[in-house]
A and B are shown apart, each in its own frame.
Chain A
Amino acid sequence: MELANNIVEINNLTKRYGNKTALNKLNLNIQNGKIIGILGPNGSGKTTLIKILAGILRQTKGEVIIDGYSPGIYTKSIVSYLPDRNFLYNWMNIQDAIDMFKDFYTDFDEGKADELLKFMKLDRDMKVDGLSKGMKEKLNLTLVLSRKARLYILDEPIAGVDPVARDQILDAIINNYEENSTMLITTHLVRDMEKMFDEVAFISEGEIILEGNADKLREEKSMQIDDLYKEIFG
């Protein structure tokens, strides 16, 4: 793997909360232009890892390099991050949310937002307060995918939404993936997402315990990624 091809390089990354270790000398490289799945159960360290990449948590030790830089102002300008919970205020309507994103991010593409809103069947005058869980997730994803980012980080994009919304979310992700951007997606719902991944990395107790090309792993182990997940964590 060539160095210049990695959009993300993580070396010996450690994060402790008091005496609890969330990430333990974790190593992971992510190639440019790929969709990578970070797979692990709740509490395995996925969200901690992602929050460090998104620049909202600091590591205890180790190194994270995104497009040549440590997480900070520059990386935030090229990373579009979907947190694992709703990040919008209840008093907002969808128009307010779009205005907020336009203010914050110069790479926000309003045309793309319009397309996605239509696809998700959301209107600009709907209030965040009145949206169902699935609709909130769809709105959050719409905002995140409307940025022309180099790296999209999606934390559990389909957790807790109904199957129809789930399909719409998966469609939106595939339709908006471009070859010169990279997507990092965490999930424990492997069955629904495995055909979307180029690469997968299994995370357990703050360490990557297995990683590789998804189709290659399927071939080598003669099982689906979902079954492999169950074997590892079951």
Chain B
Amino acid sequence: MNFDNNLPIYVQIGDYLKRQIISGKLKEGDKLPSVRDTSKELKVNPNTVQRSYQELEREKLVFTQRGMGTFVTEDKDVIKNLKKGYANEIIKNFMEDMKTLGFNSSDIIELVYEIIGEEK
């Protein structure tokens, strides 16, 4: 994993973990790797990893059980909302980009249909 953007590292680690939850690599109730192991894997200061875990906990995406570790939430709605949030963000950026290029909403929908058709 490259930390090559300007966001704080703890935010970038949080994003990396959220993407794993969204894609199902980390499933509901799964145990997250320990702070130590994540720190070693990503070569990041363990205090920074700890902060990412705390932020995810604050967002209710994970919970900590004393002496057991940190686990992905079992609340399906929370994960659904997370997914939706990411999807909205991606689509919003895409729409903005297309609009700067001069496409209007119906042009965009038409193009998306076309491309989906080609994929099938």
A contact residues vs B (CB 8 Å cutoff) = 33-35, 167, 170-171, 174-175, 177, 179, 194-198, 214-216, 218-219, 222-224, 227
* Cβ 8 A contact of A195, one of B5, B7, B40, B43: B43
Question: Nearest-CB distance from A176 to chain B (Å)?
Answer: 10
Q: Which residues of A contact B8 (CB under 8 A)?
A: 215-216, 218-219
Query: How many Å lie between the Cα of A219 and that of B9 in the bound state?
Result: 10
* Best-surrounded residue of B7, B42, B45, B46 (most CB of chain A within 10 A): B45
A215 touching B10, Cβ below 8 Å: yes
**Contact partner of B45 among A167, A196, A222, A224, CB < 8 A?**
A196
When the two chains form their complex, are residues A198 and B6 in contact, meaning their CB atoms are under 8 A apart? no
**Chain A residues whose C-beta falls within 8 Å of the C-beta of B54 in the assembled complex:** none
Contact of B48 among A198, A223, A227 (CB under 8 A): A198
Determine whether B83 belongs to the interface, using a CB cutoff of 8 Å to chain A: no
Closest to A217 in B: B8
In this complex, the member of B4, B39, B46, B47 whose beta carbon has the largest number of chain A beta carbons within 10 angstroms is: B47
Query: Which one, A34, A196, A198, A223, contacts B43 given CB within 8 A?
Result: A196
- Interface size, chain B (Cβ < 8 Å): 18
Nearest CB in chain A: distance from B37 CB, A: 11
Beyond A195-B9, A218-B6, A223-B6, whether A171 also contacts B43 by CB under 8 A is yes
B22 within 8 A of A: no
Q: How far is the CB of A166 from chain B (nearest CB, A)?
A: 11
Are B6's CB and A215's CB within 8 A?
no
Say yes or no: is B51 at the interface (Cβ < 8 Å to chain A): yes
Contact B46–A215 (Cβ < 8 Å) = no
List residues of chain A with CB within 8 A of the CB of B10. 215
Do B6 and A224 touch (CB < 8 A)? yes
Question: In the complex, which residues of chain B have a beta carbon less than 8 angstroms from the beta carbon of A216?
Answer: 8
Quote the shortest CB–CB distance from B18 to chain A (angstroms): 17
Once the chains bind, are A198 and B45 in contact (CB under 8 Å)?
A: yes
- Nearest chain A CB to B7 CB, angstrom units: 7
Task: Evaluate whether A214 and B47 lie within 8 angstroms (CB atoms) in the complex, with A171-B40, A175-B40, A195-B3 already known.
Answer: no
